[in-house]
Protein backbone atom coordinates (compact mmCIF):
# COMPACT_ATOMS: atom_id res chain seq x y z
CA UNK A 1 0.00 0.00 0.00
CA UNK A 2 1.60 3.21 -1.13
CA UNK A 3 0.43 6.71 -1.86
CA UNK A 4 1.60 10.31 -2.09
CA UNK A 5 -0.47 12.95 -0.37
CA UNK A 6 -0.38 16.67 0.15
CA UNK A 7 -2.39 19.19 2.13
CA UNK A 8 -5.06 20.99 0.14
CA UNK A 9 -7.22 23.10 2.41
CA UNK A 10 -6.72 25.70 5.10
CA UNK A 11 -8.49 25.12 8.37
CA UNK A 12 -11.43 27.45 8.68
CA UNK A 13 -13.15 28.66 11.80
CA UNK A 14 -16.60 27.38 10.84
CA UNK A 15 -19.52 26.20 12.93
CA UNK A 16 -20.06 22.45 12.82
CA UNK A 17 -22.96 22.65 10.34
CA UNK A 18 -20.89 24.65 7.86
CA UNK A 19 -17.94 22.32 8.37
CA UNK A 20 -20.11 19.26 7.73
CA UNK A 21 -21.59 20.78 4.56
CA UNK A 22 -18.13 21.88 3.39
CA UNK A 23 -16.76 18.36 3.88
CA UNK A 24 -19.67 16.86 1.94
CA UNK A 25 -19.18 19.26 -0.96
CA UNK A 26 -15.45 18.49 -1.17
CA UNK A 27 -16.16 14.74 -1.12
CA UNK A 28 -18.85 15.05 -3.82
CA UNK A 29 -16.51 17.04 -6.05
CA UNK A 30 -13.82 14.39 -5.59
CA UNK A 31 -16.25 11.60 -6.49
CA UNK A 32 -17.28 13.43 -9.66
CA UNK A 33 -13.64 13.86 -10.71
CA UNK A 34 -11.93 10.55 -9.94
CA UNK A 35 -12.85 8.89 -6.67
CA UNK A 36 -16.14 7.50 -7.97
CA UNK A 37 -14.31 5.33 -10.51
CA UNK A 38 -12.42 3.49 -7.74
CA UNK A 39 -15.60 2.42 -5.91
CA UNK A 40 -17.89 1.78 -8.91
CA UNK A 41 -19.91 -1.46 -8.62
CA UNK A 42 -20.89 -3.68 -11.54
CA UNK A 43 -23.87 -5.51 -10.10
CA UNK A 44 -27.65 -5.32 -9.92
CA UNK A 45 -27.46 -4.22 -6.29
CA UNK A 46 -25.16 -1.25 -6.63
CA UNK A 47 -27.47 1.54 -5.50
CA UNK A 48 -27.95 2.27 -1.81
CA UNK A 49 -30.19 4.73 -0.01
CA UNK A 50 -27.11 6.04 1.82
CA UNK A 51 -24.67 7.15 -0.88
CA UNK A 52 -20.92 6.46 -0.89
CA UNK A 53 -20.35 10.21 -0.62
CA UNK A 54 -22.43 10.32 2.56
CA UNK A 55 -20.60 7.32 4.03
CA UNK A 56 -17.21 8.96 3.45
CA UNK A 57 -18.44 12.32 4.78
CA UNK A 58 -19.74 10.71 7.97
CA UNK A 59 -16.42 9.00 8.61
CA UNK A 60 -14.28 12.07 7.88
CA UNK A 61 -16.44 14.40 9.95
CA UNK A 62 -16.56 11.86 12.77
CA UNK A 63 -12.76 11.80 12.94
CA UNK A 64 -12.69 15.59 12.70
CA UNK A 65 -15.11 15.74 15.66
CA UNK A 66 -12.77 13.66 17.83
CA UNK A 67 -14.28 10.17 17.56
CA UNK A 68 -11.46 7.66 17.12
CA UNK A 69 -13.34 4.44 16.27
CA UNK A 70 -15.91 3.52 13.65
CA UNK A 71 -18.34 2.44 16.38
CA UNK A 72 -18.07 5.82 18.13
CA UNK A 73 -18.51 7.67 14.84
CA UNK A 74 -21.65 5.68 14.03
CA UNK A 75 -23.10 6.19 17.52
CA UNK A 76 -22.44 9.94 17.34
CA UNK A 77 -24.31 10.32 14.05
CA UNK A 78 -27.05 7.88 15.02
CA UNK A 79 -27.78 9.71 18.27
CA UNK A 80 -27.22 13.33 17.27
CA UNK A 81 -27.26 13.75 13.48
CA UNK A 82 -29.77 11.16 12.27
CA UNK A 83 -31.92 13.94 10.80
CA UNK A 84 -28.99 14.87 8.52
CA UNK A 85 -28.57 11.26 7.36
CA UNK A 86 -32.01 9.58 7.70
CA UNK A 87 -30.86 6.52 5.69
CA UNK A 88 -27.94 5.76 8.02
CA UNK A 89 -29.22 2.27 8.92
CA UNK A 90 -27.42 -0.07 11.34
CA UNK A 91 -23.80 -0.26 12.43
CA UNK A 92 -22.95 -3.50 10.62
CA UNK A 93 -24.25 -2.10 7.33
CA UNK A 94 -22.34 1.15 7.84
CA UNK A 95 -19.09 -0.69 8.61
CA UNK A 96 -19.61 -2.90 5.54
CA UNK A 97 -20.10 0.16 3.36
CA UNK A 98 -16.91 1.76 4.71
CA UNK A 99 -14.86 -1.30 3.82
CA UNK A 100 -16.44 -1.41 0.35
CA UNK A 101 -15.11 2.09 -0.39
CA UNK A 102 -11.68 1.60 1.22
CA UNK A 103 -9.92 2.29 -2.09
CA UNK A 104 -11.97 5.45 -2.37
CA UNK A 105 -10.29 6.92 0.72
CA UNK A 106 -6.88 6.40 -0.85
CA UNK A 107 -8.11 7.89 -4.12
CA UNK A 108 -9.61 10.83 -2.23
CA UNK A 109 -6.20 11.61 -0.75
CA UNK A 110 -4.72 11.44 -4.26
CA UNK A 111 -7.41 13.86 -5.40
CA UNK A 112 -6.36 16.30 -2.70
CA UNK A 113 -2.80 16.06 -3.98
CA UNK A 114 -3.67 16.67 -7.61
CA UNK A 115 -5.86 19.66 -6.81
CA UNK A 116 -3.58 21.36 -4.31
CA UNK A 117 -3.56 25.08 -5.23
CA UNK A 118 -0.71 26.27 -2.99
CA UNK A 119 2.23 23.99 -3.71
CA UNK A 120 3.58 26.10 -6.57
CA UNK A 121 3.70 29.14 -4.29
CA UNK A 122 5.53 27.31 -1.47
CA UNK A 123 9.23 27.46 -0.69
CA UNK A 124 10.40 24.15 -2.14
CA UNK A 125 14.07 24.50 -1.25
CA UNK A 126 14.16 22.77 2.15
CA UNK A 127 12.37 19.57 3.20
CA UNK A 128 12.34 17.29 6.25
CA UNK A 129 11.63 13.55 6.38
CA UNK A 130 10.61 11.14 9.13
CA UNK A 131 8.35 8.16 9.85
CA UNK A 132 5.87 7.03 12.51
CA UNK A 133 4.36 3.61 13.34
CA UNK A 134 0.71 2.71 12.85
CA UNK A 135 0.22 -0.12 15.32
CA UNK A 136 -2.15 -3.04 14.84
CA UNK A 137 -0.58 -5.17 17.59
CA UNK A 138 2.16 -4.43 20.13
CA UNK A 139 5.07 -6.34 21.65
CA UNK A 140 4.41 -10.06 22.20
CA UNK A 141 1.06 -9.90 20.38
CA UNK A 142 2.89 -8.76 17.24
CA UNK A 143 4.38 -12.27 16.85
CA UNK A 144 0.93 -13.83 16.51
CA UNK A 145 -0.82 -11.01 14.66
CA UNK A 146 -2.37 -11.88 11.31
CA UNK A 147 -4.51 -8.80 10.67
CA UNK A 148 -4.14 -7.20 7.21
CA UNK A 149 -1.10 -9.32 6.34
CA UNK A 150 -1.49 -8.25 2.71
CA UNK A 151 -0.37 -4.76 3.79
CA UNK A 152 1.20 -5.03 7.24
CA UNK A 153 3.96 -7.04 8.92
CA UNK A 154 6.17 -7.00 12.00
CA UNK A 155 8.72 -4.21 12.41
CA UNK A 156 10.59 -2.11 14.93
CA UNK A 157 10.31 1.59 15.79
CA UNK A 158 13.60 2.74 17.34
CA UNK A 159 12.26 6.10 18.57
CA UNK A 160 9.62 4.32 20.66
CA UNK A 161 11.69 1.17 21.29
CA UNK A 162 8.69 -0.81 20.08
CA UNK A 163 8.25 -4.06 18.19
CA UNK A 164 4.86 -4.03 16.50
CA UNK A 165 2.70 -5.48 13.75
CA UNK A 166 1.45 -2.80 11.40
CA UNK A 167 2.64 -0.26 8.86
CA UNK A 168 4.81 2.84 8.88
CA UNK A 169 3.78 6.29 7.76
CA UNK A 170 6.65 8.10 5.99
CA UNK A 171 6.34 11.84 5.45
CA UNK A 172 8.33 14.49 3.60
CA UNK A 173 7.29 18.01 4.55
CA UNK A 174 8.12 21.51 3.39
CA UNK A 175 9.92 23.52 6.08
CA UNK A 176 8.02 26.58 7.25
CA UNK A 177 9.37 29.09 9.75
CA UNK A 178 7.73 28.85 13.18
CA UNK A 179 5.18 26.32 11.89
CA UNK A 180 4.97 22.56 11.54
CA UNK A 181 6.00 21.36 8.05
CA UNK A 182 3.42 21.22 5.33
CA UNK A 183 3.24 17.55 4.18
CA UNK A 184 3.88 17.17 0.47
CA UNK A 185 4.74 13.45 0.10
CA UNK A 186 3.43 10.68 2.34
CA UNK A 187 4.03 6.98 1.85
CA UNK A 188 2.54 4.02 3.71
CA UNK A 189 4.74 0.90 3.85
CA UNK A 190 4.86 -2.40 5.80
CA UNK A 191 6.46 -1.99 9.23
CA UNK A 192 9.55 -4.00 8.24
CA UNK A 193 10.46 -1.56 5.45
CA UNK A 194 13.67 0.27 6.26
CA UNK A 195 13.28 4.06 6.45
CA UNK A 196 16.00 4.57 3.88
CA UNK A 197 14.38 2.10 1.46
CA UNK A 198 11.07 3.95 1.77
CA UNK A 199 12.82 7.26 1.10
CA UNK A 200 14.35 5.89 -2.09
CA UNK A 201 10.85 5.37 -3.48
CA UNK A 202 9.78 8.91 -2.65
CA UNK A 203 12.99 10.92 -3.24
CA UNK A 204 12.89 10.92 -7.10
CA UNK A 205 10.22 13.64 -6.76
CA UNK A 206 12.68 15.99 -5.04
CA UNK A 207 14.70 18.23 -7.36
CA UNK A 208 17.22 20.97 -6.49
CA UNK A 209 16.61 21.12 -2.74
CA UNK A 210 17.88 20.18 0.73
CA UNK A 211 16.41 17.20 2.58
CA UNK A 212 16.97 16.78 6.33
CA UNK A 213 16.58 13.39 8.01
CA UNK A 214 17.82 11.44 11.03
CA UNK A 215 20.57 8.80 11.07
CA UNK A 216 18.21 6.16 9.67
CA UNK A 217 18.49 7.86 6.28
CA UNK A 218 22.29 7.87 6.23
CA UNK A 219 23.39 6.23 2.97
CA UNK A 220 26.51 7.46 1.16
CA UNK A 221 25.52 5.93 -2.19
CA UNK A 222 22.02 7.39 -2.03
CA UNK A 223 23.38 10.80 -1.05
CA UNK A 224 25.70 10.76 -4.04
CA UNK A 225 22.92 9.69 -6.38
CA UNK A 226 20.59 12.46 -5.19
CA UNK A 227 23.29 15.10 -5.52
CA UNK A 228 24.48 14.06 -8.98
CA UNK A 229 21.14 13.20 -10.58
CA UNK A 230 18.72 15.59 -8.88
CA UNK A 231 20.91 18.33 -7.39
CA UNK A 232 19.38 17.41 -4.02
CA UNK A 233 21.43 17.37 -0.82
CA UNK A 234 20.49 14.77 1.79
CA UNK A 235 21.64 16.03 5.20
CA UNK A 236 21.76 13.71 8.24
CA UNK A 237 23.51 13.90 11.65
CA UNK A 238 27.16 12.87 11.58
CA UNK A 239 28.47 9.83 13.36
CA UNK A 240 30.54 10.68 16.39
CA UNK A 241 34.29 10.69 15.76
CA UNK A 242 36.94 9.41 18.15
CA UNK A 243 38.97 12.53 17.48
CA UNK A 244 38.02 15.18 20.10
CA UNK A 245 38.26 18.13 17.69
CA UNK A 246 36.10 16.46 15.06
CA UNK A 247 33.75 15.18 17.73
CA UNK A 248 32.92 18.70 18.89
CA UNK A 249 32.33 19.83 15.32
CA UNK A 250 30.20 16.80 14.54
CA UNK A 251 28.15 17.32 17.67
CA UNK A 252 27.40 20.94 16.74
CA UNK A 253 26.45 19.95 13.19
CA UNK A 254 24.19 17.15 14.42
CA UNK A 255 22.44 19.53 16.81
CA UNK A 256 21.81 21.92 13.93
CA UNK A 257 20.34 19.13 11.78
CA UNK A 258 18.12 18.04 14.67
CA UNK A 259 16.84 21.59 15.14
CA UNK A 260 15.86 21.74 11.45
CA UNK A 261 14.03 18.42 11.45
CA UNK A 262 12.37 18.73 14.89
CA UNK A 263 9.16 20.25 13.44
CA UNK A 264 8.45 17.05 11.49
CA UNK A 265 8.20 15.28 14.85
CA UNK A 266 5.74 17.95 15.93
CA UNK A 267 3.74 17.23 12.79
CA UNK A 268 3.41 13.55 13.71
CA UNK A 269 2.44 14.52 17.26
CA UNK A 270 -0.20 16.87 15.85
CA UNK A 271 -1.48 14.16 13.50
CA UNK A 272 -1.73 11.65 16.33
CA UNK A 273 -3.48 14.11 18.62
CA UNK A 274 -5.90 15.14 15.87
CA UNK A 275 -6.79 11.71 14.48
CA UNK A 276 -5.28 8.95 16.69
CA UNK A 277 -3.82 7.51 13.49
CA UNK A 278 -1.13 5.44 15.25
CA UNK A 279 -3.72 3.48 17.28
CA UNK A 280 -5.10 0.84 14.91
CA UNK A 281 -5.79 -2.03 17.33
CA UNK A 282 -9.49 -2.09 16.38
CA UNK A 283 -8.72 -2.77 12.69
CA UNK A 284 -9.70 -6.27 11.56
CA UNK A 285 -8.98 -6.37 7.81
CA UNK A 286 -6.86 -4.92 5.00
CA UNK A 287 -9.81 -2.81 3.86
CA UNK A 288 -10.30 -1.58 7.42
CA UNK A 289 -6.63 -0.62 7.60
CA UNK A 290 -6.95 1.44 4.42
CA UNK A 291 -10.00 3.21 5.81
CA UNK A 292 -8.18 3.86 9.09
CA UNK A 293 -4.98 5.25 7.53
CA UNK A 294 -6.26 7.17 4.54
CA UNK A 295 -9.43 8.35 6.25
CA UNK A 296 -7.42 9.94 9.02
CA UNK A 297 -4.85 11.36 6.65
CA UNK A 298 -7.60 12.93 4.56
CA UNK A 299 -9.22 14.42 7.67
CA UNK A 300 -5.93 15.97 8.76
CA UNK A 301 -5.16 17.32 5.31
CA UNK A 302 -8.57 18.92 5.01
CA UNK A 303 -8.00 20.96 8.15
CA UNK A 304 -4.26 21.53 7.76
CA UNK A 305 -3.26 25.20 7.98
Residue percentage of the chain with pLDDT more than 70: 86
What sign does the dihedral 278-283-287-292 (CA atoms) show? negative
| 167 touches 151 (CB < 8 A) | yes
**Residue at 92 is within a domain:** yes
The total of other beta-carbon atoms located within 10 Å of residue 161's CB is 7
The residues near 174 (Cβ < 8 Å, ≥ 6 apart) are 122, 123, 124, 126, 127, 181, 182, 184
| Residues 135, 80 share a domain | no
Q: Which domain holds residue 246?
A: 121-285
Beta bridge partners of 67: none
260 and 159 within one domain? yes
Q: What is the largest CA-CA distance in the chain?
A: 75
> Do both 88 and 166 map to the same domain?
no
Query: Three-state DSSP class for 193?
Result: coil
Same domain, 103 and 156: no
> Residue 196's CB: how many other CB atoms inside 10 A?
16
Q: Quick check: is 295 in a domain? A: no
Q: Is residue 99, in this structure, part of any structural domain at all? A: yes
Do 63 and 152 share a structural domain? no
Is the residue at 249 inside a domain? yes
Tell whether 271 and 126 lie within a shared domain: yes
- 66 and 136 share one domain: no
- The length of the chain is 305
pTM: 0.85
Q: How many domains does the chain have?
A: 2
Give the span between the Cα atoms of 249 and 68, in whole angstroms: 45
Asked if 69 and 152 sit in the same domain, the reply is no
Write the pLDDT tens digit of every residue in 1-27. 444 443 334 443 468 899 999 999 999
Considering the domain boundaries, does residue 266 fall inside one?
A: yes
The pLDDT tens digits for 106-146 are: 999 888 867 765 544 455 688 999 999 999 998 777 777 88
Average pLDDT across the chain, whole number: 85
Amino acid sequence: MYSFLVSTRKELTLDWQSQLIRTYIIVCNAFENSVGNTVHRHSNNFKFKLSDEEVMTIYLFGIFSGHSTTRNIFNYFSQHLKNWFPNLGGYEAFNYRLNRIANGFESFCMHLLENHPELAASDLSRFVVDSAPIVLARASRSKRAKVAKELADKGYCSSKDLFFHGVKLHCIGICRESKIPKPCFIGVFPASTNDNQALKQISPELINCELFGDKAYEDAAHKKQLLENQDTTLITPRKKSKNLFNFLGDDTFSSWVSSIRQPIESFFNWLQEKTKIQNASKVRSAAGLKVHVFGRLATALLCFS
